[in-house]
Structure 1
Amino acid sequence: MGVISAFLRRNKQIAELDKAHSFQVSEPNTERNPIHFPSVEEPLVSILISFHNSEMYTRKCLQSILKNLPKNTFEILLIDINSSEAVDFTNITGVTLIQNPALHDFVQATNQGIHQARGEYIYLLNSSTIVREGFLDELLHVFETNNDVGAVGSMLLDSTGKLYAAGTAVLKNAKITPIKGVKSYFPQVNYTYKVDYCSAHSLLFKKKDIHGDLNLLDDAFSLSSFADADLCFRLKYNQGRSTYYTPFSKVVCYTKNTSNENVSHSVRNKSFSKNLELFKQKWKRQIEAIKSTSIHHRILDFYDGRPMIFFNDQVPQYDNNSGELRLTEIIKAYKELNYHVTLVTLDNTIYNAYNAYFQKLGIAVLYINRRHSNISDYFKTVNYVNPIIWMHSATTFNRFYETARKIFKTFSLIFDMVDIHHLRYKRELELFPRDLGIQQAYETYLEIETRASLLADIVIPISDQEKQYMQSFSPEEKMLVISNVHYPKVNVQETPKFEDRTGLLFIGSRHTPNIDAINYMIDEIMPIIWKTDNTIKLHIVGNVAQCFSEDRKSISNVIFHGFVPEVSSYFLKHRVMVAPLRYGAGVKGKIGQALEYHLPVVSSSIGAEGMHLVDGRHILVAENPEDFAKKTISLYTDEKIWKEIQENSMSGLKPFSKEVLHEKIKQIEEILKYE
């Protein structure tokens, strides 16, 4: 029954997806309603819309822009390509109409528009399109988050919601291949990725090249065919700039009316063939270097042919706990080093709020999208050869290792321990020796982590201490420490002063060491602190409230704030961070986060484990309730000590920088002989 119900549930999910992504766009009517755009003195973007006749399509395009006004400033230039019919845009304000009888094709019209444009960016938009919310801002976002962008194109949909194009790949023997043939909500077209070129139906690029010259279209390409491809190739091969596609900018095309030039079909077909040959000859050397015969392998070419696949129990909730934040930083580092990254999780859906964060970074995030689909189906389609597989935690390894082994003939396996799970349970057993559940968890994870360490090509402990511990399970030469990733989030001079802060801060999830630490703090440490000052409040941030009774949550000077998506304000308004952990394993991200905001910390040695922090310099360390209370009061009341600890927070972060992480990845490449 379980299998049948799961099948029926998936069928329902897919039916809902099909319905949600299907629509019917009506043809434009004949009404000439007024349209008023805001006037901007210094637009960031110049939107160029060329047209030949097609007044009503152009009006509907403009209405869609008005309905979905970008947050960024823009101007609109309407460029008439020698229309043979009367057009009337007199009741449209805030646009510039360019009418030049000498203009006979799209290339000429676009170049005149570029010359007259005032914006830093040029956005080409076909007049027979309808834009969706975020159409322009999401294109700009790609420029803002990548340092090699030359141009960005949108997901193009037809008038029924079907995928029209998700960029274009040029394959071996100059095979021009628009990326389509799948549903618009499939994961393979729902992340930002590099392509050979995107259509001028919706294309953003900078007005000037890196030398300060205008990025004009080549007028050798009469009419419009391959002028966009040629521009993208010039950006890449002459300027070192990539063309990206993003699905977060969506534009609907009236596919039967996308021609905006005054030519017959026969002339257009002849021009297409002529321009294709011109394109092939102009870029002969670059095209002959292309050996890929599939779209997926061609996309991989743009990432130096380096597929990287991360397996995790869920899409990382980077704002929820330090382990997920650490994984997010590692994924981002691989992306910054130009790997093609795929994220595989358990039973993910398209509606997961965390998907978009990674997809916009350029990460392919897998989720349920077919009635009879699984992970194997996806990777059979992309057909990666010898990928690097990163398995995050023992739980993930246990769930996904056999699946990966069946999918890939060969792969390099990295086992990221996160923390040593069985060591954590071993330490918990020392406090609760009669707990059979803890004993069973210890034995289970000891078996899983031992097996994973033997099978992995590289084992990633999170600290030097855990690396030393693991040497009895795994050879030292295949172990590489990668700790948490931390870097200053604010300037220490700009943080609130000692006297402007109040209260103690504890941050933690429902992880059992955190629950124990909270109980320990409330029951044994805070009563000692309150004897000195009964006004000091303990602020607890994290989704832990359901783990405590109403009586405990009603203690007047203990405040449970629950899960907080943005915790920076808590680091800045409270005076001392406390981490009285009695057991656990790994490196505690909460302490690193406090140092990022220059917030002084009192911790146990377990809390500070693996961070190379010096007691009395970077933090204060205490092992029993009396000492913990004493040092907390000292740090809370003595401004001189507080400032000394705060000023040293920067040096405490050095081992956890992005630069150190990138160096670690280089070491992984050397071990795997992967270049």
Structure 2
Amino acid sequence: MLHVLRTEGARVLMRKLHRRLSNQALAAKGPPTLLRLAEPFTPIVFPDAAAPSISVIIPVQRSLRSIHHCLAALVHMETRTPFEVILAADLDDDRAWRLRRYPGVRLIQSAPGTTLPQRLNQAAQRTRSALIAFLSDDTQVQPGWLDTLVQTFAETADAGIIGSRLLYPDGRQHGLGWRIDAQGIPHPLGHLADPEHPACNYRRPVAACSLTALAIRADLFHQIGGFAPEATTPETLAIYLAQRVWEQGHRVYCQPLSRVVWFRTEDRQVPLDPTPLSYPLPLYRPSLSIPAQRLRVLVVDNYMITPDRESGSLRMLNLFLILQRLGYQVTFAAANLEAPQPYVAELQRQGCEVLYRPYVRSLADHLAKQGARYRLVILSRADAASQTIEAARRYCVGARIIFDTVDLHFLRESRLATLLGDRGMRLLAEARKRQELALMRQADLTWVVSEAERAILAAEAPDVPVQVVSNIHRIFGSANPPAARRDLLFIGAFSHPPNRDAVCFFCDQVMPIVRRYLPEVRFQVIGADPPPEILTRAGDGVELLGHVPDVAPFFANCRLSVAPLRYGAGVKGKINQSLAYGVPVVATSVAVEGMHLVNGESVLIADTPEGLAEAVIRLYQDDALWERLSQAGIEVMERHFSFDAAERTLRSALALETAG
């Protein structure tokens, strides 16, 4: 605690104490939202979607009451996704004339005697979207059902089919898809398991999903010929469809955050138990569609990652995505096992298991019980590593343990001590150095974010194996030319002391010079929870914007960004983020350390107030210089900080074979 107080301040100490002690638990989802509508039923009105993103096909099989409730739930599900609804019925179905009165619903009728797979295939031929969802008419979808499916397809390039979690009306879990054994016998997954348990709440590959609620890419559905005509039950329809999707090189996933209540009875009160599929499937080839067992990696960080708030979290999220591409199943835990939303759900939606209380009492307890399942353990930042590394060594037998420094804390703290001339702070930095070096020697491998930090460790601890795994960013490029841009931008978490110092320094010593020559320019500052010393500097061209969930519009319109850090360590995400959007940067030499940037070619560097102001004014007024720095910055990002660059680095760091 003294360490945090001296190096980060009382305000940060109080926030960290509150966060550790409050230990925000997972917010339970509660019972499903159910509609109970009285007759006579008023026809449901669906909005006309000129360009639907997904088509929802519902085979007409049950009573009008059941169908009406199913349609009403679709209207009430609070979706942002444009969709169309198609009802698939027989020509002689006496419910059809009633359903024609539902505005916005398309009714596709087939000849009498048409089988269920034929009827569904005919309806699918009439869709107008890139995705098709099949939904049973004895269901009620839950809020977010459709948005989650569509977003999961967008995030999961190899997904061919995505199925929803099925719930009983009382909230108990019905299932999470099927696994199929070597004899071709299907087994339901997750039946009656606790729906709040970490193991039941992340996207995962399955052999097949229930036809009750699944979605598929439309082009893939047509490519494989739709549903197999020889399948005679909804279960075999779904399983044979999944088999052909696997054969085409795509995966089948269950997405538990997409929830659907399945009634399976006309009285809508008592759910039936699932019929066990205890027979082999005659046409099923099990070797083709059983998902291979994935390698498991456990990642522990100080707190829940918040990618929209700080650079280290964004790096960690992108690291997870690359680990998944390399075949790892990621399990993440905050050292205090907190579970704040929406961050937990965002990780789960993208396929990461998240550990949290009360299901995990402590990380040591979890590792004692399940440590053997992990092949890789990544301990991020010194404090989380010091709490966990002993248990990881004891229980994760055979696992490779990596200490991910994020930045060298002792280097940052030593630089702060030098800046302030504080002997006591220097002693704390020395203590931090001993801690970090000890952790490095306990781990199998240490990750740093720059060659500059690897060089420091080569001198300080030549016996320690070190690899560089730097920041990871998507490259967006410039949205607007320089003439269409204005103002200066700074982005950074104020919980990080160097950012507070940088903003105060820039406001006090640099902006007055800049405003003398550019009186209309504004300095826009993005960062959550600005402390009092930042708040007092608002005005006179300084705009404090607080937390901004979507920063893209600011990078699209600002003329340049600044990184006036006077101390710190690691690679600065604020510079990466700006360069990824094609926005040139004016920065100090400390800020660009280890970033492969060259003064005058890909960045402008200065360390004095006068030098920083001159660089800002010059870049603000010179369009040709702006264009040159913008393009060079994007090239640096693609070469050193892109997903492809990070994947190459991780393959090397984890000694994986290069993909052929």
Note the C-alpha offset of 1:165. 0.6
Q: Which moved more, 1:360-369 or 1:228-237?
A: 360-369
330, 334, 338: which is aligned to 1:341?
Answer: 330
Mark the CA change 1:630 to 1:88 in structure 2 (over 3 Å): closer, same or farther.
Answer: closer
172, 186, 192: which is aligned to 2:203?
Answer: 192
Question: What does residue 11 of structure 2 align with?
Answer: none
3-state DSSP of counterpart to 1:152: strand
Question: What does residue 467 of structure 2 align with?
Answer: 480
428, 445, 462: which is aligned to 2:416?
Answer: 428
Question: What does residue 396 of structure 1 align with?
Answer: 384
User: How many Å separate the matches in 2 of 1:368 and 1:163?
Assistant: 20
Deviations 1:312-359 (A, max 9, x none): 122221121222222222112112333211111134455422122222
135, 140, 149: which is aligned to 1:130?
Answer: 140
Q: Equivalent residues in 2 for 1:114-129 (5 A)?
A: 114=124, 117=127, 119-129=129-139
Question: What does residue 298 of structure 1 align with?
Answer: none
Mark the CA change 1:222 to 1:382 in structure 2 (over 3 Å): closer, same or farther.
Answer: farther
Is 1:246 matched with 2:233?
Answer: no
Kept in 1: contact 2:304–2:340 (CA 8 A): no
User: How many Å separate the matches in 2 of 1:671 and 1:89?
Assistant: 57
Q: CA RMSD in A?
A: 3.6
230, 243, 248: which is aligned to 1:233?
Answer: 243
Amino acid paired to 1:325: L
Question: What does residue 608 of structure 1 align with?
Answer: 592
User: How many Å separate the matches in 1 of 2:101 and 2:517?
Assistant: 75
3-state DSSP of counterpart to 1:244: strand
Q: Equivalent residues in 2 for 1:178-217 (5 A)?
A: 178-180=188-190, 181-209=192-220, 212-217=223-228
Note the C-alpha offset of 1:383. 6.6
531, 544, 547: which is aligned to 1:560?
Answer: 544
Kept in 2: contact 1:82–1:101 (CA 8 A): yes
3-state DSSP of counterpart to 1:648: helix
128, 141, 147: which is aligned to 2:151?
Answer: 141
User: How many Å separate the matches in 1 of 2:162 and 2:227?
Assistant: 16
User: How many Å separate the matches in 2 of 1:75 and 1:505?
Assistant: 45
Deviations 1:51-71 (A, max 9, x none): 445332122212222323752
Amino acid paired to 2:504: N
Deviations 1:419-441 (A, max 9, x none): 110111111221223352x2343
Mark the CA change 1:641 to 1:95 in structure 2 (over 3 Å): closer, same or farther.
Answer: closer
Is 1:464 matched with 2:475?
Answer: no
Q: Equivalent residues in 2 for 1:437-516 (5 A)?
A: 438-475=425-462, 478-491=465-478, 494-498=479-483, 500-510=484-494, 511-516=496-501
3-state DSSP of counterpart to 1:571: helix
Note the C-alpha offset of 1:384. 5.0
Note the C-alpha offset of 1:389. 1.1
101, 108, 133: which is aligned to 2:112?
Answer: 101
Question: What does residue 297 of structure 1 align with?
Answer: none
Question: What does residue 541 of structure 1 align with?
Answer: 526
3-state DSSP of counterpart to 2:616: helix
Q: Which moved more, 1:83-92 or 1:614-623?
A: 83-92
3-state DSSP of counterpart to 2:87: strand
Is 1:359 matched with 2:348?
Answer: yes
Note the C-alpha offset of 1:147. 1.9
Percent pairwise identity = 26
Is 1:634 matched with 2:618?
Answer: yes
User: How many Å separate the matches in 2 of 1:114 and 1:62?
Assistant: 18
Question: What does residue 4 of structure 2 align with?
Answer: none
Note the C-alpha offset of 1:228. 1.1
Kept in 1: contact 2:187–2:277 (CA 8 A): no
Deviations 1:428-483 (A, max 9, x none): 221223352x2343133212211111122221111111101111444478311122
User: How many Å separate the matches in 2 of 1:521 and 1:208?
Assistant: 54
In structure 2, runs of 5+ residues without a counterpart are 1-18
User: How many Å separate the matches in 2 of 1:256 and 1:652?
Assistant: 60
Note the C-alpha offset of 1:402. 2.7
3-state DSSP of counterpart to 1:490: coil
Amino acid paired to 2:349: K
Mark the CA change 1:188 to 1:555 in structure 2 (over 3 Å): closer, same or farther.
Answer: same
Under a length normalisation based on structure 2, what TM-score does the superposition of the two structures give? 0.85
Is 1:325 matched with 2:314?
Answer: yes
User: How many Å separate the matches in 1 of 2:51 and 2:547?
Assistant: 42
Kept in 1: contact 2:307–2:313 (CA 8 A): yes
Is 1:620 matched with 2:572?
Answer: no
- Specify the structure having the higher radius of gyration (Cα): 1
161, 164, 167: which is aligned to 2:171?
Answer: 161
Kept in 2: contact 1:308–1:388 (CA 8 A): yes
Note the C-alpha offset of 1:26. 7.1
User: How many Å separate the matches in 2 of 1:425 and 1:672?
Assistant: 38
In structure 1, runs of 5+ residues without a counterpart are 1-5, 260-264, 291-300
Deviations 1:333-392 (A, max 9, x none): 11233321111113445542212222222111222244x744466667767534211111
Q: Which moved more, 1:527-536 or 1:632-641?
A: 527-536
* Count of residue correspondences: 632
Q: Equivalent residues in 2 for 1:262-273 (5 A)?
A: none
Note the C-alpha offset of 1:243. 0.7
Amino acid paired to 2:160: G
Amino acid paired to 1:600: P
Kept in 1: contact 2:166–2:176 (CA 8 A): yes
